[in-house]
Structure 1
Amino acid sequence: MTERKTNLLPKARQQLKNLAPLIHCITNPISINDCANALLAVGARPIMAEHPKETEEITATAAALTVNLGNITDARMESMLLSGKKAKELEIPRIIDVVGVSCSRLRLAYAGHFINVCTPSVIKGNLAEIKSLCGEDISSTGIDASDQDQISQDNLPYRATAAKQLAKKTGAVILASGKTDLITDGDQVFLVNNGCAQMARLTGTGCMLNVLTGAFLSVLPPMDAALLATAFFGICGEEAETPDGMGSFHVRLLDQLDRITGETLECRARITQYHEEEIYEPR
């Protein structure tokens, strides 16, 4: 492992505050309010339009597009595809959060179609969801990854190579979130070890990471955007951690997204590059 410089992180955050980019989010109603507030806290401007008759027009004005398969509906599926095609046509960066593809054949098939047609800049999911996109068996139930579907020292060579292969196949940066986050562009593999246990207990933190990555995509290349957004959000979670309960943590997390200092970001980021020999054999 080698340490990666993190001086880009405070600079990227300042760029967001200076530019106030418009981020088009087609996300689920469970997390829509938190996603909008997370973007506002970092200086971006959210718009959550999802009607099929207006999404293309709105995407065309945005600095990035973020889509999310959580709580999926027919209308949202149509809107995401229309917006994804428009973003591709106009070369607007785009990210898909493949929520639930490990437990739903509908979502898995749709995600594959969206990725093929709209060629997202970043594909985000937990490790179980990324494994499903790779065609592997998974052991999770619902939308959560099981303990077996987390990065460990034993499975890291396999997981890293599988993610690299998916990145090369799709042309997207892969962001596999979990206790340890894995990010790859098909060549380089990075691990992020920021975050806290309370983040996994708060509904919508994965969705918030998705839209925050979209915000960073508006000012950074896809690999840097995925890497730095993940570290940024994890550090904010660490700073927000509290024994006072989940309600307090929820509020403190939003406060940190707004108020965390560049100095804290630069010194707290735990990003390493993975170099170990890859032994994964595709099935």
Structure 2
Amino acid sequence: MTEKRMNQLLNARRQLKDTSPLIHCITNPISINDCANAVLAVGARPIMAEHPGESAEITASASALAVNLGNITDARMESMLLSGHKARALSLPRIIDVVGVSCSKLRLEYAKRWIAECAPSIIKGNLAEIRMLCGENILSSGIDASDQDQLSQNNLLVRIASAKQLAKKTGSVILASGKTDLITDGKEVFLVDNGCSKMARLTGTGCMLNVLTGAFLSVLPPLSAALFTAAFLGICGEEADTETGMGSFHVRLMDQLDVISDETLQRRAKIIEYSKEECL
């Protein structure tokens, strides 16, 4: 990553703390508390309203919208569409986390509808979920990506090509999370290799990535928001990883979201930009 882009991202972090934008997060009850606290930790203000009677009104007062298909319900599906339509009408930045589209036809069809009608700034999912949106066959079960669905030297260029095609088709930045995150707007392609194994063992880290990206989306363009948040959360995970157990890791991760230094972010960021020739 260039020094200019890194400075842009670090300035955005300060801007977020200075302006405290309201972020409307329609997420699931499994991770809702951690999501709210993560947004607060970076300086933004979360509101988690999901009643269909008020969701669009709440979205209209927010600076960004983040929706999540985890633990889906009829009411939340209705609210996410209403809020997505409102965000699009007001040109508010918006992100969808396509949780579970790789294991549920209901979620897959709904995600396709939401993307078509609400035109998200960013589509976020693990690599299996992103591949499912591309119409590919996957090997994963449940909401987790299998080892075969992770990026490798053998499949890297194919996975990049699919993600770029989806970005061009939808007009959205694609954030495919995993051991290595893949981010593309259909032209530029980045790989982020930050994070630790404990993050995959803590419920809700993917949901936290979604709402944190929504927060940074309020002060950054979509590609930069996705890129910075993937590196930011991954580095926080690395800094939180000690020899202690998962409970301590959970608390330390929240601490790092609040106190991690710019110097640490600059030093530990592992971001690779792929050239157009490499991505053909």
TM-score range, shorter chain: over 0.9
2:109 maps to 1:92 = no
- What letter matches 2:66 in structure 1? T
The aligned counterpart of 2:180 is: 180
The aligned counterpart of 2:115 is: 115
| 1:211 Cα deviation from its structure 2 partner | 0.2
The whole-number CA distance in structure 2 between the counterparts of 1:207 and 1:37 is 12
- What letter matches 2:144 in structure 1? D
Deviations 1:40-62 (A, max 9, x none): 00000000000000000000000
| 1:278 Cα deviation from its structure 2 partner | 4.2
Is the Cα–Cα contact under 8 Å of residues 9 and 262 in structure 1 kept in the other structure?
Answer: no
The aligned counterpart of 2:272 is: 272
The aligned counterpart of 1:58 is: 58
Is the Cα–Cα contact under 8 Å of residues 93 and 120 in structure 1 kept in the other structure?
Answer: yes
- State the identity %: 74
- What letter matches 2:25 in structure 1? C
2:155 maps to 1:155 = yes
- What letter matches 1:153 in structure 2? Q
SS at match of 1:124: strand
Give the structure, 1 or 2, with the largest relative contact order (CA under 8 Å, sep 6 or more).
1
SS at match of 1:46: strand
Deviations 1:196-236 (A, max 9, x none): 00100000000000000000100000000000011010010
Is the Cα–Cα contact under 8 Å of residues 68 and 97 in structure 1 kept in the other structure?
Answer: yes
2:129 maps to 1:129 = yes
The whole-number CA distance in structure 2 between the counterparts of 1:211 and 1:243 is 28
The whole-number CA distance in structure 2 between the counterparts of 1:221 and 1:189 is 15
- What letter matches 2:207 in structure 1? C
SS at match of 1:67: strand
The aligned counterpart of 2:219 is: 219
Q: Structure 1 stretches (4+) deviating beyond 6 angstroms?
A: none
The aligned counterpart of 1:200 is: 200
2:25 maps to 1:40 = no
Deviations 1:127-174 (A, max 9, x none): 000000000000000000000000111101000010000000000000
| 1:72 Cα deviation from its structure 2 partner | 0.2
- What letter matches 1:166 in structure 2? L
The aligned counterpart of 2:243 is: 243
| 1:7 Cα deviation from its structure 2 partner | 2.3
Is the Cα–Cα contact under 8 Å of residues 9 and 224 in structure 2 kept in the other structure?
Answer: no
- What letter matches 1:32 in structure 2? I
**Structure 1 gap segments, 5+ residues each:** none
The aligned counterpart of 1:73 is: 73
2:261 maps to 1:261 = yes
- What letter matches 1:26 in structure 2? I
SS at match of 2:53: coil
SS at match of 1:25: strand
Alpha-carbon spacing, 1:4–1:272, altered in 2? closer, same or farther (3 Å): farther
The whole-number CA distance in structure 1 between the counterparts of 2:37 and 2:278 is 42
Aligned residues: 277
The whole-number CA distance in structure 2 between the counterparts of 1:120 and 1:157 is 25
Is the Cα–Cα contact under 8 Å of residues 9 and 232 in structure 1 kept in the other structure?
Answer: no
SS at match of 1:7: helix
Deviations 1:71-129 (A, max 9, x none): 00000000000000000000000000000000000000000000000000000000000
The whole-number CA distance in structure 1 between the counterparts of 2:151 and 2:215 is 26
TM-score, normalising length from structure 1?
0.96
